[in-house]
């Protein structure tokens, strides 16, 4: 299953890219995050492997995330008109996923975030989930992006319990 979602953030690319890649900020906008800890490598950099635990309702998912691309490596001092690529693979029980994030200037004070997502499922249960609920994956991705937008623009923290 593949899909792409996008959102415009009313902040300049120079602010959005480092904020999105900063692991200390994840709990403020990644709804349901319980744990995101590096197993090896430098948090957020290519080759880093992290243990990730997310909780959605009564469901708890544990996975391993590997950063596969981050360009430019230094997100401070992005050139005017620059583009940022941030990609990762996530492997969990019965699931493999790739997320390819692309941030680009949408104007002098705004950023376009495009997120291309791909999922592959194994095992009967996960294949059924993938077939019956493809919209749920897209909806969750868009929700995470909307939460990040609220955080980047207004400092809204998902842990405050306001929607």
Output the domain CATH number for residue 41. 3.30.530.20
Residue 159 lies in a domain: no
Residue 149 within any structural domain of the chain: yes
Task: Give residue 44's pLDDT band: very low, low, confident or very high (50, 70, 90).
Answer: confident
Do 19 and 5 touch, CB atoms closer than 8 A? no
Whether 162 is in a domain gets the answer: no
> Total domain count for the chain?
1
Name the percent of the chain in helix, strand, coil, to the closest 5.
Answer: 30, 45, 25
What pLDDT score does 155 carry? Answer: 93
Q: Assess if residue 48 is contained within a domain.
A: yes
Task: Compute CA 136 distance to the chain's CA centroid, rounded to the nearest angstrom.
Answer: 16
Asked if residue 17 belongs to a domain, the reply is yes
On whether residue 11 sits in a domain, the answer given is yes
In a domain? residue 88: yes
Structural domain span for residue 70: 2-154
- In this predicted structure, the answer to whether residue 67 has a pLDDT above a threshold of 60 is yes
Q: Name the band, by pLDDT with cuts 50, 70 and 90, for residue 146.
A: very high
**Structural domain contains residue 160:** no
């Amino acid at each position: 299953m593949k899909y792409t979602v996008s959102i415009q953030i009313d902040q300049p690319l120079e602010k959005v890219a480092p904020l999105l890649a900063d692991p200390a900020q994840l709990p403020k906008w990644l709804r349901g995050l319980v744990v995101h800890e590096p197993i090896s490598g430098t948090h957020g950099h290519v080759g880093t492997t992290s243990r990730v635990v997310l909780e959605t309702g009564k469901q708890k998912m544990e996975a391993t995330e590997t950063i596969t691309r981050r360009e430019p490596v230094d997100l401070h001092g992005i050139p005017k008109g620059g583009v940022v690529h941030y990609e990762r693979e996530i492997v969990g029980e019965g699931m493999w996923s790739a997320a390819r994030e692309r941030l680009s200037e949408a104007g002098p004070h705004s950023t376009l975030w495009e997120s291309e997502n791909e999922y592959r499922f194994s095992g009967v249960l996960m294949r059924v989930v993938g077939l019956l609920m493809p919209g749920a994956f897209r909806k969750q991705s868009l929700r995470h992006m909307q939460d990040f937008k609220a955080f980047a623009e207004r400092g809204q923290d998902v842990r405050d319990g306001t929607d």
